[in-house]
Amino acid sequence: MDMALDYKMSTASASQVWDACLRIIRNDVTVSTFETWFVPIKPVELQENRIKIELPSRFFYEWIDQKHRLLLNRAIKQTLGDEGKLEYTFIDEQPEQRLEKPIDIRIRVPETKFQPKISDFVSNLNAKYTFSNFIKGSGNELAHAAGLAVGNTPIGSSFNPLFIYGGVGLGKTHLLHAIGNRALQTNPALKVLYTSTEEFTIKFIAAIENDTISDFQNYYRGVDVLILDDIQFLIGKEKTQDHFFHSFNSLYHAGKQIIVTSDKPPKDLRGLDERLISRFAMGLTADITPPDYETRLVILNKKADEIGLTVMPEIFDYIASSITSNIRELEGCLLRLLANVSLTSKEIDLALAKRTVHEISTTKKTTISVDLITKVVCEALKIDENKVRDKTRKSEITLARQLAMYLSKELTRNSLKNIGLYFGGRDHSTVIHACSLIARMIEVDGRFRDQVSKIKSQIETVGY
């Protein structure tokens, strides 16, 4: 029999069988699971009662096999009968991108030809955040798996862009650094860049003011892996968004990896350019949700181990039952307990644990941006927000600017340089001057002190 014809017939019926399977599967999974994991599968071949399907990558295969094997088997059996069988193939990533032990290779290969060039590019990565200290558990499974896949295949991964979203303190930033660190381990020559959206915006504003926008563009378009944290801060900044959109496109079309995080899924980012939202939808979207009780216990045990704190199981149980929605707070609680026991050299008892949990839950958990600070300060002082970045030296505007600088230094992790850039490209010494001036005013002027503390608590309530 003609082989080609035979093959053609078998693919035709393979796709019919697969379509029937998809109809069954569709009823059992969410739309996004269906679209993410089942739509990309291709039926390749049908031989008697055995259907072969092709998955886009090894990662895909592992995920499907782990999570959806039962469902798939059931669909196959319903379609092909009890003897129905399923066979997988997947498109493997190129082996040279899966560098197993980069350190060994660097040492053993003296010849420059094969030696990966170590990039001197400044990545802004924090070496403290890695996959080895990222605890996998309920709530972050997909984000972890996809992140690991991208870290291991930083160029040409199946997930581009990778969009990770979730609430505060659930490990988004940790995961981003872990991906970046892993990508560099995989290929030390890569230009991997981690940046917060706030820093990106500040640098953009400065580039406009200093007329260095083309340098700015070249810089961002020259990276291999762009990691942008907290993209929700692009909302309301049309020019920065527009610029990011163009950088995004140029990186994407050059096959470069983009990873972003946000506090909400793309479709809920109201006020973000529709073009960007639809670009995000081209890749994989993974959410991170709060860990369940068991995962919280694992986290507490590991973190306590790391800092050398011994805690009784019932106290862990109390903490894990009380702090439920934020990993940063779990960690914070242990650190406070540690501080307390080292001060008093007493055992950690339930009463202390209760007090500590109470303290944690009443302290505001905040992600505060310079933007937010500026907004609240300007509202409180009744100043037009746009004016604080101007060159004007009108005294009430200058005061608002100085106060916003002072609070930005105190409440955010931005450098003096970045704060200066944000407020109209001013020098870091201007920021230092503003900070000491405001500090002195707070010291000597009771009314001003009250006003500042009111503004501060307002910022902390609005920040989340």
Smallest distance from ligand ADP to CB 414, Å: 16
User: What is the Cα–Cα distance from 167 to 172, expressed in whole angstroms?
Assistant: 9
Smallest distance from ligand ADP to CB 306, Å: 9
Contact 294, 137 (CB under 8 A): yes
* Nearest to ligand ADP of 16, 133 (CB atom): 133
Which one among 52, 172, 237, 336 touches ligand ADP, defined by CB under 6 A? 172
Binding positions for ligand ADP, 118-157, rule CB under 6 A: 133-135, 140
Buried b (16+ CB within 10 A) or exposed e, 293-315: eebbbebbeebbeeeebebeeeb
User: Integer distance in angstroms from the first to the last C-alpha of the chain?
Assistant: 69
CA angle 429, 435, 436 (to 5 degrees): 95
Q: Which does 174 bind (CB under 5 to 8 A by kind): Mg ion, ligand ADP, none?
A: ligand ADP
* Nearest to Mg ion of 144, 172 (CB atom): 172
Question: Within its chain, how far is the Cα of 362 from the centroid?
Answer: 26
Of 113, 111, 54, the closest CA to residue 86 belongs to 54
Q: Which does 138 bind (CB under 5 to 8 A by kind): Mg ion, ligand ADP, none?
A: none
User: What is the Cα–Cα distance from 17 to 44, expressed in whole angstroms?
Assistant: 11
Of 284, 293, 217, the closest CA to residue 251 belongs to 217
**Residue 319 sits in the site that holds ligand ADP (CB under 6 A):** no
Question: Within its chain, how far is the Cα of 148 from the centroid?
Answer: 13
* Nearest to ligand ADP of 168, 281 (CB atom): 168
Which one among 51, 125, 149, 170 touches ligand ADP, defined by CB under 6 A? 170
Smallest distance from Mg ion to CB 124, Å: 13
User: What is the Cα–Cα distance from 410 to 402, expressed in whole angstroms?
Assistant: 12
Binding positions for Mg ion, 157-186, rule CB under 5 A: 172-173
Q: Which residue is nearest to Mg ion (CB)?
A: 173
Radius of gyration of the chain (CA): 27
Q: Which does 201 bind (CB under 5 to 8 A by kind): Mg ion, ligand ADP, none?
A: none
Which one among 153, 173, 196, 241 touches ligand ADP, defined by CB under 6 A? 173
- Measure the CA dihedral 420/234/192/140, to 10°: 120
Contact 228, 197 (CB under 8 A): yes
Convert residues 241-280 into a mask of x (bound to ligand ADP by CB under 6 A) and - (unbound): ----------------------------------------
Which one among 84, 161, 171, 290 touches ligand ADP, defined by CB under 6 A? 171
Q: How many residues bind ligand ADP (CB under 6 A)?
A: 15
Query: At 118, is the secondary structure helix, strand, or coil?
Result: coil
Q: What is the DSSP string of 155-204?
A: SS-S-SSEEEEE-TTSSHHHHHHHHHHHHHHH-TTS-EEEEEHHHHHHHH
Polymer length of the chain:
464
Binding positions for ligand ADP, 174-213, rule CB under 6 A: 174
* Nearest to ligand ADP of 161, 171 (CB atom): 171
- Measure the CA dihedral 258/264/270/275, to 10°: 20
Of 164-172, 178-186, 235-243, 353-361, the window that binds ligand ADP (rule: CB under 6 A) is: 164-172
Smallest distance from Mg ion to CB 122, Å: 20
**Residue 262 sits in the site that holds Mg ion (CB under 5 A):** no
Q: Which does 130 bind (CB under 5 to 8 A by kind): Mg ion, ligand ADP, none?
A: none
Binding positions for Mg ion, 444-463, rule CB under 5 A: none
Record the tokens describing residue 224, joined without a space.
């291999």
**Residue 365 sits in the site that holds ligand ADP (CB under 6 A):** no
Convert residues 320-339 into a mask of x (bound to ligand ADP by CB under 6 A) and - (unbound): -------xx--x--------
Q: Which amino acid is at 125?
A: L
Q: Which residue is nearest to ligand ADP (CB)?
A: 171
CA angle 193, 414, 300 (to 5 degrees): 80
Of 165-173, 304-312, 372-380, 415-423, the window that binds ligand ADP (rule: CB under 6 A) is: 165-173
* Nearest to ligand ADP of 152, 173 (CB atom): 173
Q: Which residues bind Mg ion (CB under 5 A)?
A: 172-173
Q: Which residues bind ligand ADP (CB under 6 A)?
A: 133-135, 140, 168-174, 299, 327-328, 331
